[in-house]
Amino acid sequence: MALLVQKFGGTSLGSIERIKAVAQRIKSSKEKGDDLVVVVSAMGHQTDELTRLASEITVDPPHREMDMLLSTGEQVSISLLTMALNELGTPAISLTGTQAGIITESAHGRARILEIRTERIKNLLDQGQTIVIAGFQGTTLGIGGIAEITTLGRGGSDTSAVALAASLEAAKCEIYTDVPGVLTTDPRIVKNAKLMKSISCDEMLELASLGAAVLHPRAVEIARNFGVTLVVKSSWDNLDGTTLTSNKKPDFSQGGIEHRSPVDGLELLENQAVVALSNIPDRPGIAAELFESLSEGGVNVDLIIQATHQIDSNDITFTVAENELHNALTQCKKLVNTIGGDISFQKDLTKLSIYGAGIMGRPGIASSLFQILSDSGINIRLIATSEVKVSCVIDAELGKKALRNVSEVFKLTDKQITVNPTIENNNEPEVRGIALDKDQIQISVKNVPDKPGTASTICSTLAEKNISLDTIVQSERKHKDKTKDISFTLKKNDRSDAKYALKELIGNWKGSNLEEGESIVRISAVGSGMPFTKGTAGKIFRALANQKINIEMIATSEIRTTCIISEKYGEKALNEIHSCFKLGKNES
């Protein structure tokens, strides 16, 4: 007999008929002999509806009152579902977040779960009850003595379910939803997109624009940190769905179930070298040639960065482990001999990365990382960002100092810090899934001063307006006047606010100007096997070159390669890359 946590979303509970059908499904699970804790969302679009009611009264409702209001949605569904279960002869009892012992921080509307006091749940399970718990809500009872209802933020009932599964050490957490699971890519664009049998939590987080619609990233992060086996599947059939995996061992000694800081971990990777190719031709096929020849030379590249075209020439910068530098340079020289361009390199570098689902959509995080480094007098040689990670390459001698200061500001414990992590090769695929993000524009700030604090100033200027930068790329090339270029993508919606704020800022920097690139899309290939496979980037670039698609920007993290390309090629490129890794139905 195992303990299962099952979560049902709003659509699955959209009507009385559906609630009865869910009760039937729970009854049959229960009859298999498992213990069940069920977590539910509000019925249908109830949370939106309640929000609308509030907006008819005020444009700025107090956060506390919003939590009082919104938490009622889940209270309706727990009681109705419990009645339906009892009608079927399945003994069940409903609990609100407070009654279930879900203790959160006090931030109304976006509270993080600190702990779950599971005694009551365990007692009820011992009595053979099926327990139906309101998702999305908790209480501050445990922290200040005053019981206030809190909510976790939209989509938060996934988070409740996984946090319960972690605290109860459940065998599995099943998320029942209205899609069959996680697909290898967007099925509206790629006809043979395939359901994934499994995906690691890290990959899921990096595929945010593909996965976040299916599962809340905060839930994925808890599953990752506590090694919860998480399954996403359809509530309409009995198929297996997608299993999310994490090989971490649960560890409750770290403090809260969710960290109080949005940053989940800090990593330092030493003995890195940067190789920069500049003034190489800007045409399809160059990046492919370069990374194919590196892979032939046995070189495994880590970060790759390409940005800011200078009319028709280009710079590509990448990092390798120091002991691969010699081979990398040999391959680069061969290439530059035929296509032209300059090579430079630097050793004695360290890569510092912060990561965590909390970084997503919080512009202040990257900007405070840059700020800490600049306050510590540390110049950032290279920046690479992904959905859940920001990496900076800095001088090795400053690595330890950076580590100390960054972990202090983000309040990280020793357990959250890793120096030179060894990651295991579990023969995971080099590419598991591919996301296409059409919601981005590309902006370059040209000729910015090359000194500590520049990137941080740009980011914090935008963060103040609540604008997130994605795919920040700081070019390696210095102009004659010792200035640099920084490029990034941001959400289309933020275009005019961002431009306005940036124009004001660069007014302070003589000679600096703003350039918006043509309409672009962002394609990201993600796979845990990527760090162990030589040539993944080369394959992606070759797939694009074969279609004569030029790459505007490249940015990578360990398990992800992102290309920014012209919008008009987006769907074609997605299909090409998807099939080049044989991800589709009937392909593997």
Q: Which residues bind ligand ASP (CB under 6 A)?
A: 9-10, 41-42, 47, 73, 135-136, 154-158
**DSSP element (H, E) containing 46:** helix 46-55
Beta bridge partners of 390: 354, 385
141 binds, among ligand ASP, Mg ion, none (CB under 5 to 8 A by kind): none
List CB contacts of 300: < 8 A, sequence separation 6 or more.
Answer: 320, 321, 324, 531, 532, 534
Could you give the CA distance from residue 398 to residue 373 in angstroms, rounded to a whole number? Answer: 10
User: Minimum distance from CB of 245 to ligand ASP (Å)?
Assistant: 23
Place of tokens 């001088």: 395
In the complex with Mg ion, the residue whose CB is nearer, 158 or 302, is 158
Estimate to the nearest angstrom the gap between the alpha carbon of 423 and the chain centroid.
Answer: 19
Q: Which stretch binds Mg ion (CB under 5 A): 9-17, 268-276, 525-533, 563-571?
A: 9-17
Amino acid identity of residue 283, one-letter, is R
Query: What are phi and psi for residue 487, nearest 5 degrees?
Result: -120, 155
User: Minimum distance from CB of 188 to Mg ion (Å)?
Assistant: 20
Beta bridge partners of 391: 353, 384
562 binds, among Mg ion, ligand ASP, none (CB under 5 to 8 A by kind): none
71 binds, among ligand ASP, Mg ion, none (CB under 5 to 8 A by kind): none
User: Minimum distance from CB of 108 to ligand ASP (Å)?
Assistant: 14
Report the residue from 4, 6, 7, 9 that binds Mg ion according to the rule CB under 5 A.
Answer: 9
User: Minimum distance from CB of 157 to Mg ion (Å)?
Assistant: 6
User: Minimum distance from CB of 408 to ligand ASP (Å)?
Assistant: 34
Asked if 453 interacts with Mg ion (CB under 5 A), we say no
User: Minimum distance from CB of 81 to Mg ion (Å)?
Assistant: 16
In the complex with Mg ion, the residue whose CB is nearer, 48 or 439, is 48
User: Minimum distance from CB of 52 to ligand ASP (Å)?
Assistant: 13
User: Minimum distance from CB of 152 to ligand ASP (Å)?
Assistant: 8
Could you give the CA distance from residue 474 to residue 133 in angstroms, rounded to a whole number? Answer: 47
Asked if 135 interacts with Mg ion (CB under 5 A), we say no
DSSP string, 61-84: --HHHHHHHHHHHHHHHHHHHHHH
Which pair of tokens denotes residue 535? 């040539």
CB 108 within 8 A of CB 66: yes
42 binds, among Mg ion, ligand ASP, none (CB under 5 to 8 A by kind): ligand ASP
154 binds, among Mg ion, ligand ASP, none (CB under 5 to 8 A by kind): ligand ASP
Asked if 211 interacts with Mg ion (CB under 5 A), we say no
User: Minimum distance from CB of 41 to Mg ion (Å)?
Assistant: 5
CB 92 within 8 A of CB 134: no
Residue 4: closest CA among 169, 151, 114, 115 = 169
From residue 140 to residue 179, what is the string marking binding to Mg ion with x (rule CB under 5 A)? ---------------x------------------------
In the complex with ligand ASP, the residue whose CB is nearer, 66 or 343, is 66
Dihedral angle of Cα 224, 229, 235, 238, to the nearest 10 degrees: 150
Residue 5: closest CA among 156, 182, 221, 159 = 159
Asked if 73 interacts with Mg ion (CB under 5 A), we say no
Query: What are phi and psi for residue 193, nearest 5 degrees?
Result: -55, 140
Write the CA distances from 403 to 53, 151, 372, 410, 414, integer angstroms. Answer: 48, 34, 10, 11, 11
Amino acid identity of residue 560, one-letter, is R
101 binds, among Mg ion, ligand ASP, none (CB under 5 to 8 A by kind): none
β-pairing, 483-491 vs 469-474, is antiparallel
Q: Which stretch binds Mg ion (CB under 5 A): 6-14, 100-108, 412-420, 466-474?
A: 6-14
From residue 469 to residue 498, what is the string marking binding to Mg ion with x (rule CB under 5 A)? ------------------------------
8 binds, among Mg ion, ligand ASP, none (CB under 5 to 8 A by kind): none
* Residues making contact with Mg ion (CB under 5 A): 9, 155
